[in-house]
């Protein structure tokens, strides 16, 4: 199972740090990703990180502002979000890649319940 947390209300320009805690065997050896879904929009890729944490990938819209990281000992993935914008408002989901990371949600088989991020202007 995956449990996402850390969402909340923040002003534009502010920061939030999301966490995704894994339990069981959901985490070991797996690439992990963050997605988001805004009201009335499709779920979109935000960031992903390989199992070893040596490579990360970002959507163009968040590159340079968001940082994905992981602590394998704690079975936790993080998403540090800086310089937040109103258009970042969405429910953020963490997910485990079925095999390798990808930008498509279909590549992920386990999903957290989501955490709401609201950025006010």
DSSP letters for 23-73: -TTSSTT--EEEEEE-TTS--EEEEEE-TTSS-EEE-TTTTTTEEEEEETT
pLDDT for the residue numbered 25:
77
**pLDDT bucket at 27, cuts 50 / 70 / 90:** confident
Phi then psi dihedrals of residue 99, to 5 deg: -130, -85
Q: What average pLDDT does this structure show over 93-120? A: 96
Phi then psi dihedrals of residue 103, to 5 deg: -85, -15
Q: What average pLDDT does this structure show over 9-33? A: 93
- Do residues 94 and 32 touch, judged by C-beta distance below 8 A? yes
- Do residues 43 and 37 touch, judged by C-beta distance below 8 A? yes
pLDDT for the residue numbered 45:
98
Q: What average pLDDT does this structure show over 63-91? A: 97
pLDDT for the residue numbered 108:
96
What span, in angstroms and rounded, lies between the C-alpha atoms of 2 and 106? 17
Report the chain's mean pLDDT, rounded to a whole number. 96
- Do residues 33 and 108 touch, judged by C-beta distance below 8 A? yes
**pLDDT bucket at 24, cuts 50 / 70 / 90:** confident
What span, in angstroms and rounded, lies between the C-alpha atoms of 53 and 3? 19
3-class secondary structure, 89: coil
Percentage of the chain lying above the pLDDT 90 cut: 93
> Which burial class, exposed, middle or buried, applies to 102 when counting CB atoms under 10 A from its CB (0-12, 13-18, 19+)?
middle
Q: What average pLDDT does this structure show over 1-22? A: 97
Q: What average pLDDT does this structure show over 25-43? A: 92
pLDDT for the residue numbered 102:
92
Q: Is the pLDDT of residue 82 over 90?
A: yes
């Amino acid at each position: 199972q995956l449990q996402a947390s850390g969402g909340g209300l923040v002003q534009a320009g502010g920061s939030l740090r999301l966490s995704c805690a894994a339990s069981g065997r959901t985490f070991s050896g797996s690439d992990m990703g963050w997605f988001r879904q805004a009201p009335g929009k499709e779920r979109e890729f935000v960031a992903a990180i390989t199992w070893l944490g040596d490579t990360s990938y970002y959507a163009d819209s968040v590159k340079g502002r968001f940082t994905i990281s992981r602590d394998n000992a704690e079975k936790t993935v993080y998403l540090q979000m800086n310089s937040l914008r109103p258009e970042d408002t969405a429910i953020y989901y963490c997910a485990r890649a079925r095999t390798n990371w990808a930008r498509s949600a279909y590549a992920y088989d386990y999903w957290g319940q989501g955490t709401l991020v609201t950025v006010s202007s």
